[in-house]
């Protein structure tokens, strides 16, 4: 008989041998439990939460409710029993687990569990049938954890903790319910959601961009195509003209330099995606997490830094300063000057082009990244690199046509005006980046700052585009254009905002559970201030009266999960519970699996999801 076949027998004997340390099926000294209610006084029919705080001795692992079959041993799942007369359990939520590997008695155990600390949440509701009789009385709630812990040995245990609440006319918050407990409840998930994360359960139904099942070659081909399309995303357009200027400035240099600068730019684009691929490997291997596209934009210091870089770049285009690089560093030929830029600068501009594509490309990348994350680590990582190859390809191919520089106009006044114009465009990008730091109810300030850039652009056109001896007709056309630009932008950007078509409540996971328990459908729109694809969904779907009518007709509770701040409860719920990314809209039926609308979708898609939700009752 092999060791593998003997595995369950050996581990079973070891568990029995641990009777002196903690009786199998009884309490153990390696685990301590504490039950903490969210409210000390509760009202009949109101939902409240009891948290079971589990502390495990360092070095031991508590198996989760979905530990998954190990290669050598099948550990029992953790179970939670609730004893509370007069109360109904609405939902039990578990913390997100992680994969642990251990050698026990010469056998390898690969299972999901928790180390040192875990909090299990039980959402409950007091019975309304005997509300008057129970008012003013205390009720005991007992939570019993039936689970298994392992270190070098495995110990099954069954341990309880109790707490009391008082019945009253309204809920009274518990001062012991800390912000850490509240945040943990938001990030906690059901057993079904844990199985989905482990790949063993039915995923939530999706409408729109789902995780498709492509053959590998088709998936990689689509990744290449998506990379090509990223070059025309609105966010990257201010950088493309700078690339053109680099080509124009190369006209007086050698063809060899034209080629090497172009390849350096393409290498910068690819370098960004290689870095993302490396992050994907670390997240998958070390932290057992899924790579989230655009996660860097969720970090406020990153957006601040990028905004300041944009301001510095605009100042450079305005001629406020110049960076002079020694010829010995940038020159490939002995007679070369540094005027046409360095290879390091070209590579940096390529990286910036790729970074700026991030907030515009969520909807475009959803299908490819969903497919990539469903593949093996190697294929998923290669897919991210292939996206970068697709984005870098046009810039690399451009180097195959060095004679192109002979057809471009010679540097002159037009190029200086072009540079200054791009400076104003990049200032607009900086305003948008800084605007993502401002709360949505103060967004008027962002529009005013944006208009200030447009007004400065109009004044620049008025005063710079014309020579003093320009014909009258030319003056009228150019200055008329400047006035029209200022007036049209002012009308579009400075108008008072109207009443919203749909009023969203702030995200509250407890409200979702309560509404579903009451038979209502819940819609949660996850969005972020820096997500331009989210703005498209807002304009094309949630600003429409047909959408508002459909939500009202179905009595839908509508919430907005703003994940701009990485420390928000909505951010934790989106990434830990849903393992998703913005833009994402989730429809929760009163019962059954949630329906996801991933990326950009139409009003018809939303109405279809609402109809399916009603049918799920």
377 and 274 within one domain? yes
170 and 115 within one domain? yes
Report percent pLDDT > 70 for the chain.
72
Instruction: Specify if 444 maps to a domain.
Output: no
Angle at 406 between CA 400 and CA 407, to 5 degrees: 95
220 and 99 within one domain? no
Q: What total number of domains does the chain contain?
A: 3
The overall pTM is greater than 0.85 = no
Between CA 524 and CA 454 the distance in angstroms is 35
Instruction: Specify if 489 maps to a domain.
Output: no
- Highest mean pLDDT: which of 118-127, 228-237, 423-432? 118-127
Between CA 488 and CA 511 the distance in angstroms is 43
381-394 pLDDT, tens per residue? 888 888 889 888 88
In eight-state DSSP terms, residue 67 is -
Instruction: Specify if 484 maps to a domain.
Output: no
More confident residue, 134 or 525: 525
- In this prediction, residues 512-529 reach a mean pLDDT of 86
Instruction: Specify if 421 maps to a domain.
Output: no
Number of H helices, E strands in the chain: 21, 18
- In this prediction, residues 561-578 reach a mean pLDDT of 78
113 and 56 within one domain? yes
Between CA 529 and CA 191 the distance in angstroms is 32
269 and 179 within one domain? no
pLDDT at 213: 55
247 and 174 within one domain? no
251 and 173 within one domain? no
- CATH code at 547? 3.40.30.10
- Collapsing DSSP to helix, strand or coil, 561 comes out as strand
pLDDT at 73: 56
Between CA 99 and CA 51 the distance in angstroms is 23
What does the longest C-alpha to C-alpha distance in the chain come to? 102
Q: Are 375 and 280 in contact (CB under 8 A)?
A: no
Q: Which of 355, 376, 407 is the last residue of a domain?
A: 407
Q: How confident is the model at residue 253 (pLDDT cuts 50, 70, 90)?
A: low
Which structural domain, as residue segments, surrounds residue 64? Answer: 3-193
pLDDT at 485: 93
Report percent pLDDT > 90 for the chain.
18
pLDDT at 327: 45
Mean pLDDT of the chain: 77
257 and 189 within one domain? no
258 and 189 within one domain? no
97-115 pLDDT, tens per residue? 888 776 554 555 678 889 8
393 and 263 within one domain? yes
512 and 569 within one domain? yes
- In this prediction, residues 417-428 reach a mean pLDDT of 82
92 and 33 within one domain? yes
Angle at 409 between CA 406 and CA 413, to 5 degrees: 145
- In this prediction, residues 196-209 reach a mean pLDDT of 52
Residue 50: burial class (beta carbons within 10 Å; 0-12, 13-18, 19+) = buried
């Amino acid at each position: 008989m092999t060791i593998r076949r003997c595995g369950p027998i050996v581990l079973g004997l070891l568990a029995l041998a641990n009777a002196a340390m903690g009786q199998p099926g009884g309490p153990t000294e390696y685990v301590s439990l504490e039950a903490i209610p969210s409210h000390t006084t509760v009202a009949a029919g109101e939902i409240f939460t009891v948290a079971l705080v589990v502390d495990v001795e360092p070095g031991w692992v508590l198996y989760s409710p979905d530990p998954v079959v190990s290669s050598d041993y099948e550990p029992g799942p953790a179970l939670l029993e609730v004893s509370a007369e007069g109360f109904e359990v609405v939902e039990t939520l578990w913390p997100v687990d992680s994969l642990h590997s251990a050698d026990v008695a010469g056998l390898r155990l690969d299972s999901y569990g928790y180390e040192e600390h875990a909090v299990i949440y039980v959402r409950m509701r007091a019975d309304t049938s005997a509300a008057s009789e129970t008012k003013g009385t205390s009720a005991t709630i007992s939570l019993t954890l039936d689970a298994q812990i392992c270190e070098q040995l495995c110990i099954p245990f069954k341990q309880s903790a109790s707490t009391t609440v008082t019945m009253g006319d309204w809920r009274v918050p518990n001062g012991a319910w800390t912000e850490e407990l509240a945040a943990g409840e938001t990030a906690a998930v059901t057993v079904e959601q844990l199985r989905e994360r482990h790949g063993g359960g039915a995923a939530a139904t999706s409408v729109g961009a789902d995780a498709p099942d492509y053959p590998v070659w088709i998936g990689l081909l689509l990744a290449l195509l998506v990379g090509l399309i990223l070059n025309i995303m609105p966010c990257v357009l201010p950088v493309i003209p700078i690339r053109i200027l680099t080509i124009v400035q190369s006209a007086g240099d050698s063809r060899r330099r034209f080629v090497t600068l172009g390849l350096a730019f393409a290498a910068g684009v690819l370098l960004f995606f290689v870095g993302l691929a490396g992050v994907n490997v670390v997240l998958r291997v070390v932290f057992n997490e899924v790579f989230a596209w655009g996660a860097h934009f969720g970090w406020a210091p990153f957006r601040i830094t990028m905004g300041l870089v944009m301001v510095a770049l605009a100042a450079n285009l305005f001629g406020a300063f110049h960076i002079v690089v020694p010829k010995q560093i940038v020159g490939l030929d002995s007679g070369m000057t540094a005027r046409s830029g360095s290879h390091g600068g070209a590579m940096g501009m390529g990286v910036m082009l790729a970074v700026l594509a991030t907030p515009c490309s969520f909807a475009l990348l959803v299908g490819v990244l969903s497919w990539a994350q469903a593949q093996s680590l190697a294929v998923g990582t290669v897919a991210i690199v292939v996206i970068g190859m697709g984005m870098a390809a046009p810039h690399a191919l451009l180097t195959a046509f060095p004679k192109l520089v002979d057809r471009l106009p010679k540097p002159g006044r037009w190029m200086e005006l072009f540079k200054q114009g791009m400076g104003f465009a990049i200032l607009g990008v900086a305003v948008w980046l800084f605007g993502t730091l401002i709360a949505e109810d103060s967004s008027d300030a962002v529009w005013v700052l944006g208009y200030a850039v447009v007004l400065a652009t109009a004044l620049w056109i008025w005063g710079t585009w014309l020579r003093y001896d320009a014909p009258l007709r030319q003056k009228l056309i150019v200055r008329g254009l400047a006035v029209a630009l200022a007036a049209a932008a002012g009308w579009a950007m400075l108008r008072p905002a109207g009443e919203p078509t749909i009023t969203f409540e702030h995200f509250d996971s407890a409200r979702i559970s309560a509404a579903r328990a009451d038979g209502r459908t819940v819609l949660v729109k996850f969005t972020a201030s820096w997500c331009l694809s989210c703005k498209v969904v807002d304009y094309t779907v949630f600003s429409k009266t047909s959408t508002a009518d459909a939500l009202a007709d179905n009595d839908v509770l509508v919430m907005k999960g703003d994940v701009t701040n990485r420390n928000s409860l909505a951010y934790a719920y989106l990434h830990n519970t849903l393992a998703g990314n913005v833009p994402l809209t989730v429809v929760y039926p009163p019962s059954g699996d949630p329906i996801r609308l991933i990326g950009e979708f139409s009003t018809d898609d939303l109405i279809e999801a609402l109809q399916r939700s009603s049918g799920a009752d």
